[in-house]
Amino acid sequence: MSPFLETLSVTRTELLRTLRNARVLVLLLLFGTSTALIGLMLGLLTRGLDAQGPETAAAAGASILGFLWGVDGGAVEHLSELPLLVPLVFGADLFFLPLFIALLGYDQLSAEVATGSVRYLAVRARRGSVLAGKFLAQAVVMGLLLALVVAGLFAAGAGLRSGLEPVSYAAAAARFWAGGAALAFGYLALTALSSAMTSSPGSSLLLNVGALFGFWLLHAVGSRAALVHRMGGSASWTEDLRWLSPSAYASGVLGSTTTLLTSVAAYAAFGAVFLGVAWAVFRARDV
Amino acid sequence: MDAALSFDTVTKRYGSTVALDRVSFQVRPGSCHGLVGPNGAGKTTTFGLAAGFLRPGTGTIRVLGREPRDRGPRRPRLGVLPQDADLPAYLDVGTLLTSWARLSGEARPEAAARVALERVQLPDAWDASPRALSHGVAKRVALAQALLGEPALLLLDEPTSGLDPRAAAEVRSLLSGLRGQRTVIISSHNLAELERLCDAVTVLDHGKVVQDGTLAEVTRRAAEFSLQISRGDVPLPELRALPGVARVDLSPSGQLAVRLAPDAPPAEDVIAAVLEVLLARGVRITALIQGSSLEQRVLDVTSGP
């Protein structure tokens, strides 16, 4: 069997398992419910702003988004076309997405190594196919979840503001989904790496959350140094550290076309590196 | 003919612990080979290395002429029953087996999965959840997956442990039926079972091979036999003078142990000569045991955990 068919076979089985896993279903439900609740609260808060017209809402939105997510000025133009609720809630989802992904997939390989059940796969499939199949299954679930969230948000947004241009509104939804999916790809790969390196679900989750914290810290240290520099302080090599963290590219998902493409490319690169290392580790290790 | 499995000076360490120390042995194609030894002897590590789950530190392993971790188009057709590996949760037995059959290259995976379940006498387990299975039934499901893909080499780690006597007998019968069709390597603490099933045995102790050969060689069937004497005077000098007899000992309990000389005629001829002498003297014999039992040999050559 070719590696491609092996991967598809593992993906298919893994998807079935994922959709019958109570923990995963509860997590998906929790993510959907919390998105809906945040949407409801922010919808009530932003309703008044949206009622004052697109320009006022966009100006307020740019301030809020700039403060919360560091969205660049170029993003204001395309965000002004959207009800404020949409980027705010999606931004909140993106903030929690890395942790959610860690909780969703930390045991994809580590639990199977711990219980020995990975041996039933490892005896008949390439290690790379096992890793890729499990990763793809998680990616499909995340892709569908994001599609549902984006569709729900944009549908709710359409109810808040009249006179939206359908084609550009749908295009904005597609942009949000693509950006979110790219971010999810990068963090899913990090989760796959954590799971491939460890032999118990607990240590996998610990490593994954530790890596998230480490990347957040890297981004925070680099951003602070950059801010000091911008405010007239001296330049520091630590400024550039932030670009080594996936966190640095999250705001670009909501940004202008250029920053969105930069973010997508960055998450693709992070994902490829994480998956490459995961493959090398899983291929070499004892199971 | 190339060996179905060969280990050549293989060493495997877990940190500072040496699990296997320069282990070498070969398994003949089509044979049933037993892997025995006390707990911690290295049997499961040997299985893990042969199946490609573990990577050796040093040495060479060939499985059906290939590297054990090869999962490419010409990969060795292996069936493995791993020890203490849980069946994956959240899927029913039928879906799991069908998925594994597909990966094993079965053209009709579902049909192959059903046949495998029938071979382990569990056709009704198709819709069962692995979590709901008893240890014994789960073991038989795991055995069913090992049979998928018509493997040329079966590695079975403790195939009958945890099974009730009837299920164990059914598994033994299944394994007997596989003799000659494919190479089977079994690890078990049930030495009487291995004695019935296997043609050859490798005995491991503390990570080293301490005995390796055909069952006859290991149990010294051609080298010694014993008789249980219930009555009569045993003419020891006359027996010691028989051609091919190297040593004769009579224990107080009446066990007459006869060891053959290296250049002795076939053991059956020496046994016949000894019996003739004893029967002529009116000695009553209640049992004849050729060689030692495998259990006795393993106890003799291993030092325990």
Of B48, B78, B95, the CB nearest to A16: B95
Distance linking the first and last C-alpha atoms of chain B: 36
Q: How far is A265 from chain B (nearest CA, A)?
A: 32
Residues from chain A contacting residue B105 (CB–CB below 8 Å): 1
Q: Which residue, A231, A254, A233, A230, is CA-closest to A97?
A: A254
Mean pLDDT of B175-191: 89
pLDDT at B148 over 60: yes
Contact B99 A126 (CB under 8 A): no
Kind of pairing between the strands at B17-27 and B5-14: antiparallel
- pLDDT 10s digits, B211-260: 899 888 888 777 888 999 988 899 999 999 999 999 999 999 999 999 99
CA distances from A204 to A194, B3, B71, B168 (A): 5, 40, 26, 38
Residue A112 lies inside a defined structural domain of this protein: yes
Residue A189 lies inside a defined structural domain of this protein: yes
**Number of Cβ pairs closer than 8 Å across A and B?**
76
Distance from chain centroid for Cα B169:
15
Residues from chain B contacting residue A16 (CB–CB below 8 Å): 90-91, 95
Q: What is B220-303's CATH topology? A: Alpha-Beta Plaits (3.30.70)
Q: State the pLDDT at residue A254.
A: 85
- pLDDT 10s digits, B12-68: 999 999 999 999 999 999 999 999 999 889 999 999 999 999 999 999 999 999 999
| For A17, nearest residue in chain B (alpha carbons) | B90
Cα torsion for B173, B175, B180, B181, to the nearest 10°?
A: 110
Q: How far is A182 from chain B (nearest CA, A)?
A: 29
* Cα atoms in the 13 Å half-sphere on the side-chain side of A140: 16
User: Which tokens sit at A76?
Assistant: 């204001």
Q: What is B5-216's CATH topology? A: Rossmann fold (3.40.50)
Walk along chain A (287 residues) in steps of 10 and give the mean pLDDT of each run.
93 93 92 91 79 71 70 67 85 93 95 95 95 97 95 89 84 94 97 97 97 96 91 88 94 86 96 98 95
- Please state whether A270 falls in left (phi above 0), alpha (psi between -120 and 50) or beta: alpha
The answer to whether residues B133 and B141 touch, using CB atoms and an 8 Å cutoff, is: yes
Contact B82 A120 (CB under 8 A): yes
A 121-180 residues inside an 8 A Cβ radius of B: 121-127
Q: Which residue, A153, A136, A229, A262, is CA-closest to A189?
A: A136
Residue A167 lies inside a defined structural domain of this protein: yes
Of B82, B91, B102, the CB nearest to A9: B102
Least confident range from A222-231, B72-81, B164-173, B295-304: namely B295-304
Q: What ipTM describes this predicted complex?
A: 0.86
Mean pLDDT of B278-282: 92
User: Which tokens sit at A75?
Assistant: 């993003």
Please list the residue range(s) of chain B that carry CATH number 3.30.70.100: 220-303
Distance between CA A42 and CA A87 in Å, rounded? 11
Bridge partners of residue B189, in order along the sequence: none
User: Which tokens sit at B228?
Assistant: 């249980």
* Cα atoms in the 13 Å half-sphere on the side-chain side of A106: 20
Contact B71 A125 (CB under 8 A): yes
Under an 8 Å CB criterion, which residues of B touch A?
Answer: 48, 51-55, 71-72, 78-80, 82, 84-91, 95-96, 99-100, 102-105, 142, 145, 149
The answer to whether residues B64 and B99 touch, using CB atoms and an 8 Å cutoff, is: no
Q: How far is B108 from chain A (nearest CA, A)?
A: 14
Q: Which residues contact A87 (CB under 8 A, 6 or more apart)?
A: A61, A65, A71, A79, A254
| For A127, nearest residue in chain B (alpha carbons) | B71
Which strand (E) or helix (H) includes residue B225? strand B224-231
Mean pLDDT of B136-160: 94
* Cα atoms in the 13 Å half-sphere on the side-chain side of A3: 9
CA distances from B112 to A132, B138, B172, B277 (A): 26, 18, 21, 59
Distance between CA A33 and CA A40 in Å, rounded? 10
Contact B103 A125 (CB under 8 A): yes
Residues from chain B contacting residue A119 (CB–CB below 8 Å): 51, 53, 80, 82, 85
- pLDDT 10s digits, A212-263: 999 999 999 999 999 899 888 888 889 999 999 999 999 888 888 888 999 9
Residue A239 lies inside a defined structural domain of this protein: yes
Q: Which residues contact B194 (CB under 8 A, 6 or more apart)?
A: B34, B36, B186, B188, B201, B294
Please list the residue range(s) of chain B that carry CATH number 3.40.50.300: 5-216
Q: How many domains does chain A have?
A: 1
CA angle centred on B236, ends B231 and B239, rounded to 5°: 105
Q: Which residues contact B20 (CB under 8 A, 6 or more apart)?
A: B10, B11, B12, B42, B45, B46, B49, B56, B207, B208
Q: State the pLDDT at residue A12.
A: 96
Q: State the pLDDT at residue B303.
A: 78
The packing angle between helices A85-105 and A201-230, to 10°, is 140
pLDDT at B1 over 60: no
User: Is the sign of the CA dihedral B21, B24, B28, B33 positive or negative?
Assistant: negative
User: Does A16 touch chain B if contact means CB atoms closer than 8 Å?
Assistant: yes
Residue count of chain A: 287
> What is the domain extent for residue A153?
3-31+86-284
